[in-house]
């Protein structure tokens, strides 16, 4: 199965889809820091560092299994002004253009929970109807990252479209039956890295999932864990959210520790091997704005089942005829 991804960011969705069995034909990303991260981690990926508005899908028409993307969320995020279609960063129209040009077998688009707000009912309906008119069966659902092994409260809406000539039905992945891993459990080895004496008691206190990790925009994203309300939630876990640390707590450290970018990345579901450069602010923004790889993998696996079943059904029908 192959895939084209737009608004690829730091690779969260792409990594998850790769793990689900999709090979990327192209990844389109506008920001140079993100492009460097993608190329650094996957030198074999075809990273197109360009504005998606300048990317044409015509040369890929009829040859792509999945078109995926996490179109920018600020137009719909409660952390922003929620301008929706009036926001110049709204790239849903570009996604629709590429669906029309490429005609992929399946479409997967993710965004923030705010996209479901009543104020966007008309616009949301128009987007879903537009995909349907392009010959797709469309579904939309709010998924919680914590249901798929991510130790974080991170609701995201995922739109999935299956081309009408694909007869098999798509179903969203069921929540995992395993108990949610806590922040303390997820970070136990990282928090102990420098021999912090109070690590075990901290791990016991950090006994639930994390609040939503915030990435921020280029103008407002800083190396911290979000606004005041988010910091209070982090403080309840024993984490100082006012800043980001370079290293794990030292042996005799006193107080609440700050998380390192590597710790934040793990809470977001990235593997430890995935790098984000050396600049903390840029790294935190990339990590915080990413779609958790485990969630992308779970959805991708269900899409792959539909497409594989279609292939199997087609081969069976050929043999019968």
pLDDT (tens digit per residue) in 241-251: 999 999 999 99
Predicted pLDDT at 195: 97
Region of 7 (left: φ > 0; alpha: ψ -120 to 50; beta: rest) is: left
Residue-level pLDDT at 224: 79
Within 213-292, where are the H helices?
228-236, 261-267, 280-288
pLDDT in tens, 184-238: 999 999 999 999 999 999 999 999 999 999 876 665 556 778 888 888 999 999 9
- The answer for residues whose C-beta is within 8 angstroms of residue 63's C-beta and 6 or more apart is 2
Asked if 143 and 201 touch (Cβ cutoff 8 Å), the reply is no
Residues 91/52, Cβ–Cβ less than 8 Å: yes
The reported pLDDT for the residue numbered 88 is 53
pTM given for the model: 0.90
Q: What is the pLDDT of residue 217?
A: 60
DSSP H or E stretch at residue 121: helix 121-133
Active-site residue numbers?
A: 73
Characterize the bridge pairing of strands 106-112 and 155-163.
antiparallel
- CA–CA dist 151, 200 (Å, integer): 18
pLDDT at 221: 58
Q: Which pLDDT does position 296 carry in this prediction?
A: 97
Residue 64, number of CB atoms within 10 A of its CB? 20
Phi/psi of residue 168, nearest 5 degrees: -75, 145
Enumerate the β-bridge partners of residue 28.
6, 48
Q: How far is CA 175 from CA 166, 179, 186, 318, in A?
A: 25, 11, 19, 36
Point out the residues of the chain with pLDDT beneath 50. 73-87, 316, 319-320
């Amino acid at each position: 199965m192959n895939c084209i991804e737009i608004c690829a960011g730091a690779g969260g969705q792409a990594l998850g889809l790769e793990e689900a069995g999709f090979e990327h034909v192209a990844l389109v990303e506008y920001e140079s820091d993100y492009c460097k991260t993608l190329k650094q981690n996957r030198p074999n990926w075809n990273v197109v560092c360009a504005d998606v508005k300048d990317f044409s899908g015509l040369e890929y028409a009829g040859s792509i299994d999945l078109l995926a993307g996490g179109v920018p969320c600020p137009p719909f995020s409660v952390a922003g002004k929620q301008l929706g279609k009036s926001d110049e960063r709204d790239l849903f129209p570009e996604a629709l253009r590429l669906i029309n040009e490429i005609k992929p077998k399946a479409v997967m688009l993710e965004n923030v929970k705010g996209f479901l707000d009543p104020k966007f009912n008309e616009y949301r309906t128009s987007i879903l109807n537009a995909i349907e008119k392009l010959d797709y069966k469309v579904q939309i659902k709010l998924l919680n990252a914590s249901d798929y092994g991510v130790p974080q409260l991170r609701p995201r809406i995922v739109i999935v479209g299956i081309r009408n000539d694909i007869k098999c039905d798509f179903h969203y992945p069921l929540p995992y039956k395993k108990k949610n891993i806590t922040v303390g459990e997820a970070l136990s080895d990282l928090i102990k890295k420098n021999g912090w004496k109070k690590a075990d008691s901290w791990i016991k206190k950090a006994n639930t999932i994390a609040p939503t990790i915030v990435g921020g925009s280029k103008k407002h994203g800083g190396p911290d864990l979000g606004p005041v309300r988010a910091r209070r939630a982090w403080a309840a876990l024993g984490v100082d959210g006012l800043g980001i640390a370079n290293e794990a707590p030292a042996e005799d450290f006193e107080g609440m520790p700050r998380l390192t970018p590597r710790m934040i990345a793990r809470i977001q579901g990235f593997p430890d091997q995935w790098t984000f450069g050396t600049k903390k602010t840029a790294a935190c923004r990339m990590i915080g704005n990413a779609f958790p790889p485990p969630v992308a993998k779970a959805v991708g696996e269900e899409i792959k089942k539909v497409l594989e079943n279609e292939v199997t059904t087609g081969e069976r029908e050929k043999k019968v005829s």
